Structure 1
Amino acid sequence: MLPELVFVTRLLGLVTGQQQVAVQVDPSVKAVGILIDGERKATLRAPWRLNVSFGGELIPHEITAIAYDEHGNEVGKDTQLVNLARPAAEAAIALVRDPDSGRLRATVRWQHIAFEKPNKIELRLDGKVIGKKATTLLPALEPYTLHMLHADVKFDGFTATKEMVFGGMYSEQMPAELTGVIATEHDQCFQSGDARVRAAAIENPQATVIFVRDSSAAMARSKLPMATGASREATNALHKPFMLPNASLRIFWPTSRQIEGDMATTVNLFDRSEAFDGLFGTHRILANVGGPTRTDQRYADAVSVAAVTALVDAKRRAVVLVLNGEHDDSRHDSGVVRRYLERIGVPLRVWSLVDITPEMTAAWGKITEITSIPKLITATEELRRMLEEQRIAWLPLEPLDALKAKPVACAR
């Protein structure tokens, strides 16, 4: 299913500096307009490519290509997000009202770098399979209830997934697709540019916490010794102060690995642990789990990739960087990474297993020392409180507009 044009260049992973953008067009296309964040940057003609500068900062962008025929009519359009997680294949869902039945009709569209047709399509509504074709007529729905559409478009070796939340008590006033952002239970209205919107729903999903720490747990075991209980119940009681209820914990090691092929994304450049239940606790995450040993240590880069991963599925979230005095071979400066996390709405906590130096503070801002058990308990309590206060607000905004949304007082 190919439109009149597609981006040949897929800017996957995290992008800065000069990048070449190329499009593939149908013979009927005579010109292509390139827009970045809604601002026209160039008009392309054959050979349909352009060098774009993204600067030195990690900033989310939206690139749009619009195809025109010989009469100047728009005949095709393609859009991709930059500096947000990007797979090798993407799917989209369009909802329109069927004029005959009055019900909603869902159309699944897709794009893959290498394949034109998928092996299988599956569309689920609120967890139930309702269609296996590109177009499906939805059953009659309660208009004031939030619903979830989930599309899987399966190719050889990869499945493109798209989820769409729609409906809610304000559904008549908003577009179909909603974007989840971090909020509190008291936030109801948001301002993004000139747009003021009301949240369709405020939810309290499971939290995702990603720790970026050294591959060796030896320093944490030395600085944070823990007694062993006489029974499993006693041991769990000792670890209760370190637990993060209703959370999923994972470690990203700051060790990069070589990946061959043009399909690799930045997200796949760092080793990571399995996911642990939040009851596993921060002490075990720091002192009980070891990772791969490599010569390079890219802490700042790993933090940026962890943040993109934490955005997946619109969960409550945080990234915790654990410093131990090691050198950092990152390609991106720590200041660039900190500003990037602020832009995409991922809270960062920085903990240190060593004495905090002025150089560390200059690089990472506020740092919490965890050189003893009481200090780790205090840091964990602060992290737990932050996560407990978080909620996810579903806003009727496109992703980049939602990132800029700030809570405001609702109009009376």
Structure 2
Amino acid sequence: MIAFETLLLGIIFGRVPIRVMVAPPVTTVEFRLDGASIGTLVGPPWVIEHDFGRSPLPHELTAIGSDAAGHEVGRVTQWVNFGRERAAVSALLERDPMTRQPVAATVAWNEATGDKPLSARATLDGAPLPVTDPSRIAVPNVDLAQPHLLSVEVAFPHNLQARTDLAFGGDIIDTAESELTAVAVALPPDKESLEARDLQRAFSIDGVYRQPVAVEKGRAEVVLVMDRRVQDEILFRKLPRGWSDAGFSRSDRFWGDEDRFLAVDTVPETRHVATGGSRILFRHTARRLLSRIDEFSLLFGISSTFQSGPVGDQTIPDAVAVAGREVAAGNHRRAVVVVLAELPAAERVARSANRPSVVPTTKIQDSYRFDIAAVKAYLAALDVPLFVWSLTGATPGPITAEWGPAESVSTPRGLRAAAKKLEVQLAAQRIVWFAGRYLPQRITLDESVTGLRLAP
């Protein structure tokens, strides 16, 4: 009866048009953001425009369809700035107004980089359906006294797929899906384990105490955001000369066999703009095992990864926001590490005067859509700890200072200490699971009950 045609992927902000697909008996559609009404449509075109603001925050967007008598007949929800889907598909059944038999499924899709689908397939109760037009798939007559399942799967480039399922017939009115919400917490230093039964009356959702269904340690994921000036700093200092034999080792590490990391570029590869709203996209590496790399290789091996990538202004705060969303959506123990190479003004002048032959490998300018404070607030809302590393000292300049206290990784000893701090804090994290899907900012923890704290 109602489905989203606009599927919001990536980091969403600014004014964005939101379209829905409707079928009888829907005559009006109300849109709610985080439970508050943002507008009602009483007829086509079924599109509303909303300003999501200049700061990225997780949101719950709901569209509610009502009939001519004002009775709710269907609702759909999607999550904004929360979740990791790089592609999404939605479908709406078209029915014969007399017999109520499904006639076709109207299909909408979105893919984070704007790629068009390569193919689509559909099944009805497991049997394949012919697909000549992926945006509208014909559905044969069925026995409506029995339940049926229509599935649509769309394939995109780079081995990316998205799927949606519609249940209808029998006594089925709405399709319900069992969902869980994960919250990252940090154990106090004197505690090594945590179970769900230890958390009675520790958490509340919208002011009501909720008992978790499970607690797990699981694997850890780290996302690195590397300032492109790091590579220039390495060349200027003639690093890693003298570092490779500085005693880096994996022998005393906390990393588990499944712990992983990936790196995110700081120069956007693609930006999609829709009526003032934007989606910010960055290249990233594949996930790699942390247990197979030491601190030295982690820093210097990653620093040159994106040097051949897109040229333009780097937007470090935007990249950190994307990294936070990516790592939070995995529902694992998590952290984002931003590695900066900002020089104090005096040192920049001195280098220019004393070493004019040193030319940066790239002409890097900084720009961003989100300010640093807004990005830090976004990561805090997602329960994602942020670590700041500086290759040019602990307090190299005003931009680095705005990120908060920085760990100096300009020496082997400093790099080892920063990596150890990251390892220890990740080892203390646990993931607490709740039944149902909730925005993270709706969940609060009473730290006095257990001594736990939320991960950031």
TM-score interval, normalised by the smaller of the two chains:
0.7 to 0.9
Once residues 176 and 52 of structure 1 are traced to their aligned partners in structure 2, the CA distance between those partners, rounded to angstroms, is 29
Aligned residues: 344
1:34 aligns with 2:31: yes
Q: Is the 8 A contact 1:251 1:272 kept in 2?
A: yes
Shift of 1:154: 3.0
Q: Is the 8 A contact 1:214 1:324 kept in 2?
A: yes
Shift of 1:65: 0.7
Give the AA of the match of 1:310. Answer: V
Once residues 121 and 370 of structure 1 are traced to their aligned partners in structure 2, the CA distance between those partners, rounded to angstroms, is 54
Q: Helix, strand or coil: the match of 2:13?
A: coil
Instruction: Say if 1:347 and 1:403 are closer, same or farther in 2 by CA, change over 3 A.
Output: farther
1:57 aligns with 2:59: no
313, 318, 322: which one aligns with 1:305: 322
1:180 aligns with 2:197: no
Give the AA of the match of 2:212. Answer: A
| Alignment-derived partner of residue 147 in structure 2 | none
Q: Is the 8 A contact 1:266 1:305 kept in 2?
A: no
| Alignment-derived partner of residue 394 in structure 1 | 433
Once residues 375 and 123 of structure 2 are traced to their aligned partners in structure 1, the CA distance between those partners, rounded to angstroms, is 37
Instruction: Say if 1:404 and 1:312 are closer, same or farther in 2 by CA, change over 3 A.
Output: same
Instruction: Say if 1:203 and 1:386 are closer, same or farther in 2 by CA, change over 3 A.
Output: same
1:75 aligns with 2:92: no
Instruction: Say if 1:251 and 1:87 are closer, same or farther in 2 by CA, change over 3 A.
Output: closer
1:324 aligns with 2:341: yes
1:240 aligns with 2:242: no
Q: Helix, strand or coil: the match of 2:183?
A: strand
Instruction: Say if 1:111 and 1:83 are closer, same or farther in 2 by CA, change over 3 A.
Output: farther
94, 108, 119: which one aligns with 2:121: 119
Instruction: Say if 1:196 and 1:176 are closer, same or farther in 2 by CA, change over 3 A.
Output: farther
| Alignment-derived partner of residue 424 in structure 2 | 385
Shift of 1:54: 1.7
Once residues 260 and 301 of structure 1 are traced to their aligned partners in structure 2, the CA distance between those partners, rounded to angstroms, is 14
Give the AA of the match of 2:15. Answer: Q
Map Cα deviations across residues 38-70 of structure 1 (whole Å, 9 max, x no partner).
122222122222221222221111111111111
| Alignment-derived partner of residue 390 in structure 2 | 352
| Alignment-derived partner of residue 21 in structure 1 | 18
| Alignment-derived partner of residue 198 in structure 1 | 211
Instruction: Say if 1:407 and 1:205 are closer, same or farther in 2 by CA, change over 3 A.
Output: farther
| Alignment-derived partner of residue 154 in structure 2 | 155
Once residues 163 and 203 of structure 2 are traced to their aligned partners in structure 1, the CA distance between those partners, rounded to angstroms, is 28
Map Cα deviations across residues 302-333 of structure 1 (whole Å, 9 max, x no partner).
11111111023311100000001164222211
Map Cα deviations across residues 213-257 of structure 1 (whole Å, 9 max, x no partner).
03464534745545556xxxxx9x733379551221111111211
Shift of 1:378: 1.0
Q: Is the 8 A contact 1:192 1:401 kept in 2?
A: no
Q: Is the 8 A contact 2:89 2:163 kept in 1?
A: yes
Give the AA of the match of 1:219. Answer: E
Once residues 266 and 37 of structure 2 are traced to their aligned partners in structure 1, the CA distance between those partners, rounded to angstroms, is 38
Q: Is the 8 A contact 1:192 1:405 kept in 2?
A: yes
6, 10, 32: which one aligns with 2:7: 10
Give the AA of the match of 1:30. Answer: T
Once residues 275 and 31 of structure 1 are traced to their aligned partners in structure 2, the CA distance between those partners, rounded to angstroms, is 45
Shift of 1:120: 6.0
| Alignment-derived partner of residue 372 in structure 1 | 411
Instruction: Say if 1:292 and 1:359 are closer, same or farther in 2 by CA, change over 3 A.
Output: same
1:337 aligns with 2:356: no
Once residues 270 and 25 of structure 2 are traced to their aligned partners in structure 1, the CA distance between those partners, rounded to angstroms, is 41
Give the AA of the match of 2:69. Answer: H
Once residues 27 and 33 of structure 1 are traced to their aligned partners in structure 2, the CA distance between those partners, rounded to angstroms, is 15
Once residues 342 and 309 of structure 1 are traced to their aligned partners in structure 2, the CA distance between those partners, rounded to angstroms, is 14
Point out where structure 2 has 5 or more consecutive residues left out of the alignment: 92-104, 111-116, 129-150, 165-176, 188-192, 343-363, 451-456
Q: Which has the larger radius of gyration?
A: 2
Please say which of residues 211-220 and 307-316 is displaced more in the overlay: 211-220
Shift of 1:337: 0.7
Shift of 1:300: 0.8
Q: Percent same amino acid at aligned positions?
A: 27
Shift of 1:274: 2.7
Q: Helix, strand or coil: the match of 1:57?
A: coil
Q: Helix, strand or coil: the match of 1:387?
A: helix
Q: Is the 8 A contact 1:354 1:371 kept in 2?
A: yes
Q: Is the 8 A contact 2:254 2:427 kept in 1?
A: no
Q: Is the 8 A contact 1:314 1:392 kept in 2?
A: yes
Q: Helix, strand or coil: the match of 1:297?
A: coil
Give the AA of the match of 2:248. Answer: L
Once residues 336 and 437 of structure 2 are traced to their aligned partners in structure 1, the CA distance between those partners, rounded to angstroms, is 24
1:209 aligns with 2:247: no
Q: Helix, strand or coil: the match of 1:340?
A: helix
Point out where structure 1 has 5 or more consecutive residues left out of the alignment: 93-108, 123-130, 135-151, 163-174, 230-234
Instruction: Say if 1:110 and 1:49 are closer, same or farther in 2 by CA, change over 3 A.
Output: closer
Instruction: Say if 1:18 and 1:295 are closer, same or farther in 2 by CA, change over 3 A.
Output: closer
Q: Is the 8 A contact 2:244 2:296 kept in 1?
A: no
Give the AA of the match of 2:444. Answer: A
Once residues 391 and 212 of structure 2 are traced to their aligned partners in structure 1, the CA distance between those partners, rounded to angstroms, is 40
- TM-score, normalization by structure 1: 0.73
Q: Is the 8 A contact 2:5 2:90 kept in 1?
A: no
User: Over aligned residues, Cα RMSD in angstroms?
Assistant: 3.4
Instruction: Say if 1:153 and 1:385 are closer, same or farther in 2 by CA, change over 3 A.
Output: farther
Shift of 1:201: 1.3
Once residues 177 and 10 of structure 1 are traced to their aligned partners in structure 2, the CA distance between those partners, rounded to angstroms, is 19
Once residues 430 and 424 of structure 2 are traced to their aligned partners in structure 1, the CA distance between those partners, rounded to angstroms, is 12
Q: Is the 8 A contact 1:181 1:402 kept in 2?
A: no
Q: Is the 8 A contact 2:409 2:415 kept in 1?
A: yes
Q: Helix, strand or coil: the match of 2:286?
A: coil
Shift of 1:392: 0.8
